Amino acid sequence: MRRVPTLGSVRRAAFVLAAAVALAGCGGGNGSGDSTKTLLVAVNAPFTGTPYLGDTIAGGAELGVADFGRRFVVGNDAYRLRVKRYDSRLSPQAAVANVRHAIDDGAVAIIDEGTGVNASWGIANRANVPLAIVYQGGLGLVDPARRPDVFRIAPTDHGIAFRLAEYLIPKRLKIALLVDDSDYGQEGAKALREAFGSNPEAVAARITLPAAGVDVAPQVLRARRAGATALLVWAQPAAIAGVLTAARSAGWNVPVYAPPSAEDPLVRQQLADRPDWVDGLTFATGRMTAEVGPGPFEQFATSFEDAYGPQSVGVRTPEGEEVVQPPDYAMYAYDFVHVLVAALQAAREVRGPKVTEALNQVSVEGANGDERGFNENNHEGVVDDDVYFARFEGMTFRPVKDDLLSSTLPVINQTR
């Protein structure tokens, strides 16, 4: 199996993508005498909740599908893949319903943002359909013993929270921990309790925000009155933007830290008329480049942009350049498609428990050059230490200089 495709091959694959996605039928031929069977890969993501995230995940999955062109062989049969999008709208109920629909549609795997997995994993497990989380990092979402069908290629909340604690506690800040009431925020709250559990003196307050980010001024005022000298906001993008607006409009230039959701273009879009309020926002996320250097990720980013065009953030730098978003979370969905095909070929089957067993055995080289794979005891595709910090300045972000790992990483181009 080809691990990381050449740029030319992915450009050719981009033209194949439209045909591959359009092919109808799941598990059958195309009615034209072609014996190649079509397998469905479902993408369960918030296309109308946080459209950037949903489109990024789906685009990564589709680009991974395109790498295999019109057919690949499992056992004695030829197959092609197609991707179908299911909109979770950031609703756990909708996400669970989508998993049921995907299984009814014959999906051989589900690539999931993570909302509702605590309820949907059992549905997928009973159907012997692997479910891969490619965004949310909640502590209990992945458990190889209890949830053998659930895999993840994304930074864990545990890794993000402990890296944030490791980074912030030595600064001797009094940190207000603000989490929203979404699944994402509440899973983050669990990780933060563990990460800061041994250093309660570093925590000034623990405050819950509305996920929509509407009128969070009272919560920000509570943090200020509690003596906070820093805010750590684990929340959906709208809530992060709301916190920045509330703090800055009150003249409080407190440093603000966040998890990967701060990278979502929505934060910058909501503050487009006050770009200086975004400056200094620092977030933790999985690093885009690997030890082999930036080449593989930059090649993947070029291929993604060739297929879909640049992901415009909708804002400009102070110099007037258009800001675009790197496809970092697209690579996780892309990598899982490659791991899935390797597992199907190793299992010599496309459905059933042998596929899940094979997912514990195979590995591939991912889009950024890292190895991606799982085993019976570990269903995490990103190690906890593989987290860096980036800071916004002029509507783009770059690795910070005051963290050992981050200071070694290259700056990824984000302008056009």
Q: CA 174, CA 204: separation in Å to the nearest integer?
A: 5
Residue ranges of domains in the chain, CATH in brackets: 7-156+328-373 (3.40.50.2300), 157-288+387-408 (3.40.50.2300)
For residue 24, what pLDDT is reported? 37
For residue 21, what pLDDT is reported? 39
Count of residues for the chain? 416
What does the block give as tokens for 223? 């943090």
For residue 33, what pLDDT is reported? 54
What does the block give as tokens for 15? 């033209």
pTM, two decimal places: 0.90
* Residue position matching structure tokens 């899973």: 187
Give the residue among 11, 109, 89 at the shortest CA–CA distance from 308.
11
pLDDT tens for the chain, residues 1 to 416: 333 333 334 333 443 343 343 333 344 444 445 689 999 999 999 999 889 999 999 999 999 999 998 789 999 999 999 999 999 999 999 999 999 999 999 999 999 999 999 999 999 999 999 999 999 999 999 999 999 999 999 999 999 999 999 999 999 999 999 999 998 999 999 999 999 999 999 999 999 999 876 799 999 999 999 999 999 999 999 999 999 999 999 999 999 999 999 999 999 999 999 999 999 999 999 999 998 899 999 999 999 999 999 999 999 999 999 999 999 999 999 999 999 999 999 999 999 999 999 999 999 999 999 999 999 999 999 999 899 999 999 999 999 999 999 999 999 999 99
How far from 132 is each of 45, 147, 232, 380, CA to CA, in Å? 12, 12, 28, 10
For residue 276, what pLDDT is reported? 97
What does the block give as tokens for 381? 């595709």
From the CB of residue 276, how many other CB atoms can be counted at a distance below 10 Å? 10
Secondary structure element (H or E) that encloses residue 345, with its range? helix 328-347
For residue 6, what pLDDT is reported? 35
What does the block give as tokens for 309? 């065009």
Q: CA 85, CA 94: separation in Å to the nearest integer?
A: 13
Q: CA 405, CA 409: separation in Å to the nearest integer?
A: 7
Residue type, 53: L
Beta-bridge partner residues of 80: 38
Residue 137 near residue 168, CB atoms below 8 Å: no
What does the block give as tokens for 46? 């918030």
Q: CA 373, CA 179: separation in Å to the nearest integer?
A: 31
H-assigned helices in 5-126: 7-22, 51-67, 92-104, 117-126
Report helix angle 295-308 to 328-347, nearest 10: 90
Q: CA 8, CA 17: separation in Å to the nearest integer?
A: 14
Residue 286 near residue 155, CB atoms below 8 Å: yes
* Residue position matching structure tokens 């469905």: 40
For residue 97, what pLDDT is reported? 98
Give the residue among 185, 182, 325, 186 at the shortest CA–CA distance from 263.
325
Max Cα-Cα span within the chain: 72
Q: CA 236, CA 211: separation in Å to the nearest integer?
A: 6
CA torsion 364→109→235→322, rounded to 10°? 60
What b-and-e string marks burial along 365-383, b requiring 16 or more CB atoms within 10 Å of the CB?
A: bbbbbbebbbeeeebbbbe
